[in-house]
Amino acid sequence: MNILFLSRWFPFPANNGSKLRVAGLLRGLAKHHAVTLLSFADQPEVSPEAPELQSLCAAVHVVPWREFDPHSRRARLGLFSLQPRFLLDTHSEEMAKLIRQLLTTQKFDLIIASQLSMAAYYPNFGDVPAIFEELELGHFYDKPAEAVGFLKRLRLSLTWYKLRSYLARLFRSFRACTVASEHELEIFVKNFPPHANKVTVIPNCIQFADYQAVEVTPQPRQLVYSGSFRFYANYEAMQWFVQSVYPKVLKSVPDVHLLITGDHAGLPLPSSANITLTGYVEDIKPVIAASAVSLAPLLSGGGTRLKVLEAMALGTPVVATTKGAEGLRAIPNEHFLVADSVDDFANSVITLLRNPDLHNKISTNGKLFVKENHDWQSVTPRFLQLVEYGCRV
């Protein structure tokens, strides 16, 4: 088949969870179908000639990305629109025009729109069958209940109401939709029952084999957190950890050291000793593999945390909040440790640093869990079946 794949994220280098997912799907699709990639350029110096893409795609087209600015004129006008204002503000007429042009000049059997930012271009799809790949609802659905203060709760509730109404209309234009976890599936079915037959869980995965040849010198007192602060949930997580949890860990294990990787966007953290902000790291695998504990102290967001899967695949035990472990069917205290209070999180980290038997158990079990449940090699066939279904319905 000829497939047009629309991506909010330019997939290479695959340096965040969304890019890892897109890259994994493209690898699976390219073995069986001809894929044309139309992607936004989410960072400077994006190259459509990237060797990884040239080996996977028949053609690659790139359009500049416009970051959401809540104070822009379009965003302000969006307050009075039925469409979510972040979609209005980031809308690219260049992207819409290129989609129409490609569909006019070439015959495509299917369009795969990755994430809501790309599914929003559905008015340009004409009569070509389409799949909405990876809808994330948890971030919007959970926020109102978590909000502090009446006005904030009201604002977030209105955002969710507007998004839900918009999606109810949008789903009519898609033959199928994927979500990354059972939690996301539950939210979908509860809020969009007329479209429940369209949704399928395709979990976030990694190329497990790519994580098995990493050779490092273990750093037995090193903690690691990987994630760009441009995604607020990452910044929120590290604010909480550094301010409330880390002092307790430091007091008990004075030679502990915390590495925080990724773009920190100039955002400040509470003052603390033994912390290194590395900035962007081209290959995060050796950093995680060398660390004694990988942290996932997330308090908000949705989907499945690929940073957790990567750490498990590398044999680095994970300590996560319930939200940080959301979407995983892994067993707490067997595959990873879960803790939501300050004291419990600190004690879990300290225990892994001091107890080699528990450390080895979590390391071994976590790696096996990812291999059996979140390896693209075993999950890709399910996605390919969905692609075939999307064309036939």
Instruction: State the pLDDT confidence band at 156, using cuts at 50, 70 and 90.
Output: confident
Predicted pLDDT at 304: 60
* 3-state helix/strand/coil string of the chain: CEEEEEECCCCCCCCCHHHHHHHHHHHHHHCCCEEEEEEEECCCCCCCCCHHHHCCCCEEEEEECCCCCCCCHHHHHHHHCCCCHHHHHHCCHHHHHHHHHHHHHCCCCEEEEECHHHHCCHHHCCCCCEEEECCCCHHHHHHHHHCCCHHHHHHHHHHHHHHHHHHHHHHHHCCEEEECCHHHHHHHHHHCHHHHHHEEECCCCECHHHHCCCCCCCEEEEEEEECCCCCHHHHHHHHHHHHHHHHHHHHHCCCCEEEEECCCCCCCCCCCCCEEEEECCCCCHHHHHHEEEEEECCCCCCCCCHHHHHHHHCCCCEEECCCCCCCCCCCECCCEEECCCHHHHHHHHHHHHHCHHHHHHHHHHHHHHHHHHCEHHHHHHHHHHHHHHHHHC
Mean pLDDT taken over the chain:
93
Query: What is the largest distance, in Å, between two alpha-carbon atoms of the chain?
Result: 65
Give, in order, the Cα–Cα distances in Å from 100 to each of 139, 158, 170, 205, 258.
31, 33, 18, 32, 48
Kindly state whether residues 58 and 199 are assigned to the same domain.
Answer: yes
118-134 mean pLDDT: 97
41-46 mean pLDDT: 83
In 3D, which of 51, 17, 58 has the Cα closest to residue 35? 58
Instruction: State the pLDDT confidence band at 44, using cuts at 50, 70 and 90.
Output: confident
The pLDDT tens digits for 297-320 are 999 876 568 899 999 999 999 999
Kindly state whether residues 25 and 174 are assigned to the same domain.
Answer: yes
Instruction: State the pLDDT confidence band at 77, using cuts at 50, 70 and 90.
Output: confident
Kindly state whether residues 120 and 259 are assigned to the same domain.
Answer: no
Kindly state whether residues 38 and 181 are assigned to the same domain.
Answer: yes
Predicted pLDDT at 390: 78
Enter the tokens of residue 139: 């971030």
In 3D, which of 336, 211, 223, 363 has the Cα closest to residue 285? 211
- For the cut 80, the answer to whether the pLDDT of residue 288 exceeds it is yes
Alpha-carbon Rg for the chain, nearest whole angstrom, is 21
244-263 mean pLDDT: 96
Report d(CA 289, CA 293) in Å as an integer: 9
Kindly state whether residues 114 and 180 are assigned to the same domain.
Answer: yes
Report d(CA 41, CA 9) in Å as an integer: 7
100-118 mean pLDDT: 97
Question: Over pLDDT 70: what percentage of the chain?
Answer: 98
Kindly state whether residues 25 and 165 are assigned to the same domain.
Answer: yes
Tokens 């997330």 — which residue?
298
Which residues form the domain of 113? Answer: 2-205+375-392
- For the cut 80, the answer to whether the pLDDT of residue 146 exceeds it is no
- Number of domains forming the structure of the chain: 2
Kindly state whether residues 247 and 121 are assigned to the same domain.
Answer: no
318-337 mean pLDDT: 93
Kindly state whether residues 290 and 311 are assigned to the same domain.
Answer: yes
Domain CATH for 189: 3.40.50.2000
pTM of the shown model? 0.87
Kindly state whether residues 130 and 147 are assigned to the same domain.
Answer: yes
23-47 mean pLDDT: 93
For residues 195 and 167, is the Cβ–Cβ distance under 8 A? no
The pLDDT tens digits for 215-232 are 999 999 999 999 989 888
87-111 mean pLDDT: 97
- For the cut 90, the answer to whether the pLDDT of residue 332 exceeds it is yes
Kindly state whether residues 34 and 54 are assigned to the same domain.
Answer: yes
Kindly state whether residues 166 and 231 are assigned to the same domain.
Answer: no
81-104 mean pLDDT: 95
Kindly state whether residues 77 and 115 are assigned to the same domain.
Answer: yes
